[in-house]
Structure 1
Protein backbone atom coordinates (compact mmCIF):
# COMPACT_ATOMS: atom_id res chain seq x y z
CA UNK A 1 0.00 0.00 0.00
CA UNK A 2 1.40 3.37 -0.99
CA UNK A 3 1.98 6.23 1.46
CA UNK A 4 -0.63 8.38 -0.23
CA UNK A 5 -3.22 5.59 0.11
CA UNK A 6 -2.43 5.21 3.82
CA UNK A 7 -2.66 8.98 4.23
CA UNK A 8 -6.24 8.90 2.89
CA UNK A 9 -7.22 6.58 5.74
CA UNK A 10 -6.09 9.03 8.43
CA UNK A 11 -8.43 11.53 10.10
CA UNK A 12 -8.65 14.91 8.38
CA UNK A 13 -6.59 16.73 11.01
CA UNK A 14 -3.64 14.42 10.28
CA UNK A 15 -4.09 14.74 6.53
CA UNK A 16 -4.00 18.55 6.75
CA UNK A 17 -0.75 18.54 8.75
CA UNK A 18 1.05 16.01 6.53
CA UNK A 19 4.31 17.53 5.29
CA UNK A 20 7.59 16.07 4.13
CA UNK A 21 10.17 15.98 6.92
CA UNK A 22 7.65 15.45 9.75
CA UNK A 23 7.59 12.41 11.97
CA UNK A 24 4.16 11.39 10.64
CA UNK A 25 5.41 11.57 7.06
CA UNK A 26 8.43 9.37 7.94
CA UNK A 27 6.16 6.92 9.75
CA UNK A 28 3.94 6.59 6.67
CA UNK A 29 7.03 6.05 4.48
CA UNK A 30 8.05 3.17 6.77
CA UNK A 31 4.50 1.79 6.69
CA UNK A 32 4.72 1.75 2.89
CA UNK A 33 8.13 0.01 2.82
CA UNK A 34 7.54 -2.71 5.44
CA UNK A 35 5.08 -4.91 3.55
CA UNK A 36 6.85 -4.49 0.18
CA UNK A 37 8.77 -7.83 0.33
CA UNK A 38 5.61 -9.70 1.30
CA UNK A 39 3.61 -8.01 -1.44
CA UNK A 40 6.29 -8.97 -3.97
CA UNK A 41 5.95 -12.62 -2.91
CA UNK A 42 2.17 -12.47 -3.08
CA UNK A 43 2.34 -10.97 -6.58
CA UNK A 44 4.19 -14.12 -7.72
CA UNK A 45 2.70 -16.68 -5.34
CA UNK A 46 1.90 -19.13 -8.14
CA UNK A 47 5.63 -19.46 -8.76
CA UNK A 48 6.11 -21.16 -5.39
CA UNK A 49 3.74 -24.00 -6.26
CA UNK A 50 5.27 -24.73 -9.66
CA UNK A 51 8.18 -27.15 -9.15
CA UNK A 52 9.99 -25.78 -12.22
CA UNK A 53 9.80 -22.10 -11.19
CA UNK A 54 10.11 -22.19 -7.41
CA UNK A 55 13.44 -21.34 -5.76
CA UNK A 56 15.70 -24.32 -4.98
CA UNK A 57 15.22 -23.85 -1.24
CA UNK A 58 11.44 -24.33 -1.59
CA UNK A 59 11.50 -27.56 -3.64
CA UNK A 60 12.10 -29.80 -0.58
CA UNK A 61 9.04 -28.22 1.09
CA UNK A 62 6.93 -29.15 -1.93
CA UNK A 63 8.37 -32.66 -1.76
CA UNK A 64 7.44 -32.94 1.92
CA UNK A 65 3.88 -31.80 1.18
CA UNK A 66 3.65 -34.57 -1.44
CA UNK A 67 4.98 -37.28 0.93
CA UNK A 68 8.30 -37.56 -0.88
CA UNK A 69 10.34 -36.68 2.20
CA UNK A 70 11.16 -40.37 2.71
CA UNK A 71 13.59 -40.00 -0.19
CA UNK A 72 15.33 -36.82 0.93
CA UNK A 73 18.78 -36.85 2.50
CA UNK A 74 19.12 -35.86 6.12
CA UNK A 75 21.44 -32.84 6.14
CA UNK A 76 22.81 -31.68 9.52
CA UNK A 77 21.92 -28.06 10.30
CA UNK A 78 25.56 -26.88 10.39
CA UNK A 79 26.12 -28.08 6.80
CA UNK A 80 22.92 -26.71 5.21
CA UNK A 81 24.78 -23.85 3.45
CA UNK A 82 27.28 -26.07 1.61
CA UNK A 83 25.19 -29.24 1.48
CA UNK A 84 24.51 -31.24 -1.67
CA UNK A 85 20.98 -31.35 -3.10
CA UNK A 86 18.46 -33.11 -0.85
CA UNK A 87 18.02 -35.92 -3.42
CA UNK A 88 21.12 -37.93 -4.43
CA UNK A 89 20.32 -37.56 -8.15
CA UNK A 90 20.07 -33.76 -7.90
CA UNK A 91 17.65 -30.88 -7.56
CA UNK A 92 16.40 -31.26 -11.14
CA UNK A 93 15.30 -34.83 -10.43
CA UNK A 94 13.52 -33.67 -7.26
CA UNK A 95 11.66 -31.06 -9.31
CA UNK A 96 10.63 -33.80 -11.77
CA UNK A 97 9.41 -36.03 -8.92
CA UNK A 98 7.29 -33.21 -7.50
CA UNK A 99 5.81 -32.57 -10.95
CA UNK A 100 5.12 -36.29 -11.46
CA UNK A 101 3.59 -36.79 -7.98
CA UNK A 102 -0.06 -36.96 -9.17
CA UNK A 103 0.78 -39.72 -11.67
CA UNK A 104 2.99 -41.57 -9.16
CA UNK A 105 0.28 -41.45 -6.50
CA UNK A 106 -2.35 -42.74 -8.92
CA UNK A 107 -0.17 -45.69 -9.94
CA UNK A 108 1.34 -46.46 -6.52
CA UNK A 109 1.77 -50.18 -5.87
CA UNK A 110 1.84 -51.10 -9.57
CA UNK A 111 4.69 -52.06 -11.88
CA UNK A 112 3.91 -49.07 -14.11
CA UNK A 113 4.12 -46.67 -11.14
CA UNK A 114 7.33 -48.21 -9.78
CA UNK A 115 9.10 -48.07 -13.14
CA UNK A 116 8.07 -44.45 -13.70
CA UNK A 117 9.15 -43.54 -10.15
CA UNK A 118 12.59 -45.13 -10.61
CA UNK A 119 13.14 -43.50 -13.99
CA UNK A 120 11.97 -40.09 -12.78
CA UNK A 121 14.04 -40.17 -9.59
CA UNK A 122 17.27 -41.25 -11.28
CA UNK A 123 16.84 -39.74 -14.74
CA UNK A 124 17.95 -43.06 -16.23
CA UNK A 125 15.83 -45.23 -18.54
CA UNK A 126 16.02 -49.00 -18.79
CA UNK A 127 14.67 -50.36 -15.51
CA UNK A 128 12.77 -53.62 -15.86
CA UNK A 129 10.52 -55.55 -13.49
CA UNK A 130 9.91 -59.27 -13.58
CA UNK A 131 6.80 -60.03 -11.56
CA UNK A 132 7.03 -63.76 -12.32
CA UNK A 133 10.72 -64.27 -11.64
CA UNK A 134 11.75 -67.92 -11.30
CA UNK A 135 12.78 -69.05 -7.84
CA UNK A 136 15.65 -71.45 -7.00
CA UNK A 137 13.59 -74.39 -8.30
CA UNK A 138 12.98 -72.62 -11.66
CA UNK A 139 9.29 -72.17 -10.88
CA UNK A 140 7.77 -68.69 -10.55
CA UNK A 141 8.36 -67.25 -7.12
CA UNK A 142 5.00 -65.77 -5.97
CA UNK A 143 4.88 -62.25 -4.54
CA UNK A 144 8.48 -61.57 -5.50
CA UNK A 145 9.85 -58.89 -7.83
CA UNK A 146 13.08 -59.05 -9.74
CA UNK A 147 14.13 -55.47 -10.38
CA UNK A 148 16.82 -55.05 -13.01
CA UNK A 149 18.55 -51.69 -12.93
CA UNK A 150 20.85 -50.25 -15.60
CA UNK A 151 24.51 -50.21 -14.58
CA UNK A 152 24.49 -46.39 -14.76
CA UNK A 153 21.85 -46.34 -12.01
CA UNK A 154 23.90 -48.41 -9.58
CA UNK A 155 25.33 -45.21 -8.06
CA UNK A 156 21.79 -44.49 -6.80
CA UNK A 157 21.35 -47.91 -5.23
CA UNK A 158 20.32 -46.59 -1.79
CA UNK A 159 17.75 -44.27 -3.38
CA UNK A 160 16.45 -47.10 -5.57
CA UNK A 161 16.05 -49.38 -2.56
CA UNK A 162 14.17 -46.66 -0.67
CA UNK A 163 11.81 -46.17 -3.60
CA UNK A 164 11.15 -49.88 -4.02
CA UNK A 165 10.55 -50.37 -0.29
CA UNK A 166 8.06 -47.53 -0.15
CA UNK A 167 6.26 -48.16 -3.46
CA UNK A 168 5.88 -51.93 -3.64
CA UNK A 169 2.98 -53.67 -1.93
CA UNK A 170 3.87 -54.63 1.67
CA UNK A 171 3.56 -58.38 1.07
CA UNK A 172 5.96 -58.40 -1.90
CA UNK A 173 9.67 -59.17 -1.60
CA UNK A 174 12.23 -58.05 -4.15
CA UNK A 175 15.69 -58.65 -5.48
CA UNK A 176 17.92 -56.19 -7.34
CA UNK A 177 20.06 -57.09 -10.32
CA UNK A 178 22.40 -54.66 -12.02
CA UNK A 179 22.35 -55.01 -15.79
CA UNK A 180 25.80 -55.00 -17.30
CA UNK A 181 26.60 -53.53 -20.70
CA UNK A 182 26.06 -56.57 -22.98
CA UNK A 183 22.82 -57.73 -21.33
CA UNK A 184 24.51 -59.68 -18.55
CA UNK A 185 23.35 -59.17 -14.99
CA UNK A 186 24.93 -59.25 -11.59
CA UNK A 187 22.72 -60.16 -8.62
CA UNK A 188 22.89 -58.23 -5.42
Structure 2
Protein backbone atom coordinates (compact mmCIF):
# COMPACT_ATOMS: atom_id res chain seq x y z
CA UNK A 1 0.00 0.00 0.00
CA UNK A 2 1.42 3.37 -0.99
CA UNK A 3 2.25 5.90 1.73
CA UNK A 4 -0.37 8.30 0.39
CA UNK A 5 -3.08 5.61 0.54
CA UNK A 6 -2.18 4.75 4.13
CA UNK A 7 -2.22 8.45 4.98
CA UNK A 8 -5.78 8.82 3.64
CA UNK A 9 -6.93 6.13 6.11
CA UNK A 10 -5.68 8.13 9.10
CA UNK A 11 -7.84 10.54 11.12
CA UNK A 12 -7.71 14.17 9.86
CA UNK A 13 -5.44 15.33 12.68
CA UNK A 14 -2.78 12.77 11.65
CA UNK A 15 -3.20 13.62 7.97
CA UNK A 16 -2.40 17.27 8.76
CA UNK A 17 0.62 16.19 10.82
CA UNK A 18 1.87 14.08 7.93
CA UNK A 19 1.84 17.12 5.63
CA UNK A 20 4.60 18.69 7.75
CA UNK A 21 6.95 15.71 7.47
CA UNK A 22 8.79 14.30 10.45
CA UNK A 23 8.42 11.04 12.30
CA UNK A 24 4.93 10.23 11.00
CA UNK A 25 6.09 10.47 7.37
CA UNK A 26 9.04 8.18 8.15
CA UNK A 27 6.68 5.72 9.85
CA UNK A 28 4.29 5.75 6.86
CA UNK A 29 7.22 5.19 4.49
CA UNK A 30 8.33 2.21 6.59
CA UNK A 31 4.79 0.83 6.47
CA UNK A 32 4.80 1.19 2.66
CA UNK A 33 8.07 -0.73 2.46
CA UNK A 34 6.73 -3.49 4.73
CA UNK A 35 3.58 -3.87 2.60
CA UNK A 36 5.49 -4.06 -0.72
CA UNK A 37 6.19 -7.86 -0.76
CA UNK A 38 2.57 -8.66 0.05
CA UNK A 39 1.34 -6.20 -2.57
CA UNK A 40 3.60 -7.86 -5.16
CA UNK A 41 2.14 -11.30 -4.39
CA UNK A 42 -1.42 -10.02 -4.49
CA UNK A 43 -0.80 -8.30 -7.83
CA UNK A 44 0.02 -11.66 -9.42
CA UNK A 45 -2.02 -14.07 -7.28
CA UNK A 46 -3.63 -15.64 -10.35
CA UNK A 47 -0.18 -16.91 -11.39
CA UNK A 48 -0.22 -19.23 -8.38
CA UNK A 49 -3.10 -21.22 -9.84
CA UNK A 50 -2.27 -21.15 -13.56
CA UNK A 51 -0.79 -24.49 -14.69
CA UNK A 52 2.04 -22.97 -16.71
CA UNK A 53 2.83 -20.00 -14.44
CA UNK A 54 2.64 -21.56 -10.97
CA UNK A 55 5.95 -22.08 -9.17
CA UNK A 56 7.33 -25.62 -9.58
CA UNK A 57 6.98 -26.33 -5.85
CA UNK A 58 3.25 -25.56 -6.05
CA UNK A 59 2.45 -27.86 -8.99
CA UNK A 60 2.43 -31.04 -6.86
CA UNK A 61 0.07 -29.34 -4.40
CA UNK A 62 -2.27 -28.21 -7.19
CA UNK A 63 -2.46 -31.79 -8.52
CA UNK A 64 -4.11 -32.71 -5.21
CA UNK A 65 -6.67 -29.93 -5.70
CA UNK A 66 -7.76 -31.39 -9.03
CA UNK A 67 -7.70 -35.02 -7.77
CA UNK A 68 -4.74 -35.98 -9.96
CA UNK A 69 -2.20 -36.63 -7.22
CA UNK A 70 -2.36 -40.37 -7.91
CA UNK A 71 0.28 -39.80 -10.60
CA UNK A 72 2.67 -39.01 -7.76
CA UNK A 73 4.22 -41.65 -5.56
CA UNK A 74 5.13 -41.67 -1.88
CA UNK A 75 7.89 -43.63 -0.22
CA UNK A 76 5.81 -43.71 2.99
CA UNK A 77 2.24 -42.58 3.69
CA UNK A 78 3.50 -39.62 5.75
CA UNK A 79 6.25 -38.68 3.26
CA UNK A 80 5.89 -35.83 0.77
CA UNK A 81 4.89 -36.85 -2.76
CA UNK A 82 7.56 -37.35 -5.39
CA UNK A 83 7.20 -37.62 -9.11
CA UNK A 84 8.95 -39.57 -11.82
CA UNK A 85 6.99 -37.45 -14.31
CA UNK A 86 8.62 -34.26 -15.59
CA UNK A 87 7.32 -30.96 -14.29
CA UNK A 88 6.24 -30.05 -17.83
CA UNK A 89 4.02 -33.12 -18.10
CA UNK A 90 2.56 -32.43 -14.65
CA UNK A 91 1.70 -28.91 -15.80
CA UNK A 92 0.07 -30.39 -18.92
CA UNK A 93 -1.97 -32.68 -16.65
CA UNK A 94 -3.12 -29.68 -14.61
CA UNK A 95 -4.13 -27.93 -17.81
CA UNK A 96 -6.32 -30.84 -19.00
CA UNK A 97 -7.66 -31.80 -15.57
CA UNK A 98 -11.06 -30.12 -16.11
CA UNK A 99 -11.53 -31.98 -19.37
CA UNK A 100 -10.45 -35.24 -17.77
CA UNK A 101 -12.78 -34.72 -14.79
CA UNK A 102 -15.77 -34.56 -17.16
CA UNK A 103 -14.72 -37.87 -18.74
CA UNK A 104 -13.41 -39.67 -15.67
CA UNK A 105 -14.24 -43.36 -15.76
CA UNK A 106 -14.41 -43.50 -19.56
CA UNK A 107 -11.96 -45.00 -22.03
CA UNK A 108 -11.32 -41.55 -23.51
CA UNK A 109 -10.56 -40.02 -20.11
CA UNK A 110 -8.25 -42.89 -19.18
CA UNK A 111 -6.42 -42.60 -22.50
CA UNK A 112 -5.97 -38.83 -22.12
CA UNK A 113 -4.46 -39.10 -18.64
CA UNK A 114 -2.06 -41.92 -19.59
CA UNK A 115 -0.97 -40.10 -22.76
CA UNK A 116 -0.48 -36.82 -20.90
CA UNK A 117 1.72 -38.25 -18.14
CA UNK A 118 3.75 -40.60 -20.35
CA UNK A 119 4.01 -38.53 -23.50
CA UNK A 120 3.25 -41.62 -25.59
CA UNK A 121 0.08 -42.50 -27.50
CA UNK A 122 -1.86 -45.41 -26.03
CA UNK A 123 -4.92 -47.34 -27.13
CA UNK A 124 -7.72 -48.19 -24.74
CA UNK A 125 -10.26 -50.78 -25.82
CA UNK A 126 -13.18 -52.56 -24.26
CA UNK A 127 -13.33 -56.12 -25.61
CA UNK A 128 -16.85 -57.24 -26.52
CA UNK A 129 -16.25 -60.74 -25.15
CA UNK A 130 -15.22 -59.43 -21.68
CA UNK A 131 -17.72 -57.05 -20.15
CA UNK A 132 -16.43 -54.59 -17.56
CA UNK A 133 -12.85 -54.94 -18.77
CA UNK A 134 -10.46 -52.56 -20.49
CA UNK A 135 -7.19 -53.22 -22.29
CA UNK A 136 -4.59 -50.46 -22.34
CA UNK A 137 -2.04 -50.93 -25.13
CA UNK A 138 1.21 -49.14 -24.42
CA UNK A 139 4.04 -48.67 -26.94
CA UNK A 140 7.37 -50.34 -26.16
CA UNK A 141 8.91 -46.88 -25.71
CA UNK A 142 6.79 -46.40 -22.58
CA UNK A 143 7.70 -49.77 -21.05
CA UNK A 144 9.97 -48.06 -18.51
CA UNK A 145 6.91 -46.22 -17.13
CA UNK A 146 4.75 -49.28 -16.39
CA UNK A 147 4.56 -48.60 -12.64
CA UNK A 148 3.22 -45.12 -13.33
CA UNK A 149 0.81 -46.44 -15.96
CA UNK A 150 -0.50 -49.11 -13.57
CA UNK A 151 -1.08 -46.47 -10.88
CA UNK A 152 -2.92 -44.19 -13.31
CA UNK A 153 -5.05 -47.00 -14.78
CA UNK A 154 -6.01 -48.24 -11.30
CA UNK A 155 -7.15 -44.75 -10.32
CA UNK A 156 -8.83 -43.69 -13.56
CA UNK A 157 -10.72 -46.81 -14.67
CA UNK A 158 -14.27 -47.38 -13.44
CA UNK A 159 -14.29 -49.00 -10.00
CA UNK A 160 -16.03 -52.24 -11.02
CA UNK A 161 -13.86 -52.75 -14.10
CA UNK A 162 -10.78 -54.90 -14.52
CA UNK A 163 -7.86 -53.83 -16.67
CA UNK A 164 -4.92 -55.31 -18.54
CA UNK A 165 -1.91 -53.29 -19.56
CA UNK A 166 -0.23 -54.71 -22.63
CA UNK A 167 3.00 -53.39 -24.09
CA UNK A 168 3.48 -53.42 -27.85
CA UNK A 169 4.75 -56.78 -29.04
CA UNK A 170 3.17 -58.75 -26.16
CA UNK A 171 0.40 -61.25 -26.80
CA UNK A 172 -2.98 -60.09 -25.54
User: TM-score, normalised on structure 2?
Assistant: 0.84
Task: Give the Cα–Cα distance (whole angstroms) in 2 for the partners of residues 171 and 10 of structure 1.
Answer: 64
Contact 1:89–1:156 (Cα < 8 Å) also in 2: no
Task: Output the CA distance in 1 between the equivalents of 2:136 and 2:6.
Answer: 64
Tell me how far apart the structure 2 counterparts of residues 14 and 73 of structure 1 sit (CA, whole Å): 58
- Secondary structure of the 2:136 match is strand
In structure 2, do the counterparts of structure 1 residues 8 and 88 end up closer, same or farther at CA, with 3 Å as the change threshold?
Answer: same
How far the C-alpha of 1:56 sits from its partner, in A, is 1.0
Partners of 1:47 and 1:105 in 2: how far apart? 22
**2:149 counterpart (155, 160, 179):** 160
Q: Work out the CA distance in 1 between the residues paired with 2:42 and 2:10.
A: 26
1:34 is paired with a residue whose SS is helix
How many residue pairs end up in the alignment? 169
User: 1:178: which partner in 2?
Assistant: 167
1:128 aligns with 2:117: no
The two structures have a TM-score, normalised by structure 1, of 0.78
1:103 and 2:92 correspond: no
Query: 2: distance between equivalents of 1:44 and 1:132?
Result: 49
Distance 2:148 2:55 in 1: 23
- Check conservation: 2:107, 2:125, Cα contact below 8 A: no
Report the Cα offset of residue 30 of structure 1.
2.0
User: Gapped runs of 5+ residues in structure 1?
Assistant: 134-139
Q: Which has the higher helix share?
A: 2
Structure 2: how far apart are the matches of 1:30 and 1:16? 19
Query: Which residue of the partner structure matches residue 142 of structure 1?
Result: 131
- The 1:152/1:45 distance shift into structure 2, 3 A limit, reads same
